[in-house]
Amino acid sequence: MADNSKQATWGGRFKTEPDDLMLTFGESVSFDRRLATYDLHGSLGHASMLLSIGILTPEEFTQIEKG
């Protein structure tokens, strides 16, 4: 796989390179990077809901929000 913009989520401990099919199947870092902002907003919305129904304390929510 010659595309340098793609990145495997593992490496370093294997003696041989993974098969191209596995690299294609397992590659998601480049796509995940584009989704990260939306994922964080969704997680914050979920935490906000958990706060509103009493599952999270205000302190726990603040810790999640800062994280």
Per-residue pLDDT tens for 11-51? 667 777 778 887 777 778 778 889 999 999 999 999 999 99
**pLDDT of residue 55 exceeding 90:** yes
Quickly count helices (H) and strands (E) in the chain. Answer: 3, 0
Q: Which two tokens stand for residue 8?
A: 């495997």
- Segment (H or E) for 12: none
CA 29 from chain center: how many Å? 8
Q: What pLDDT is stored for residue 50 in this prediction?
A: 98
Give the pTM.
Answer: 0.59
**pLDDT of residue 3 exceeding 90:** no
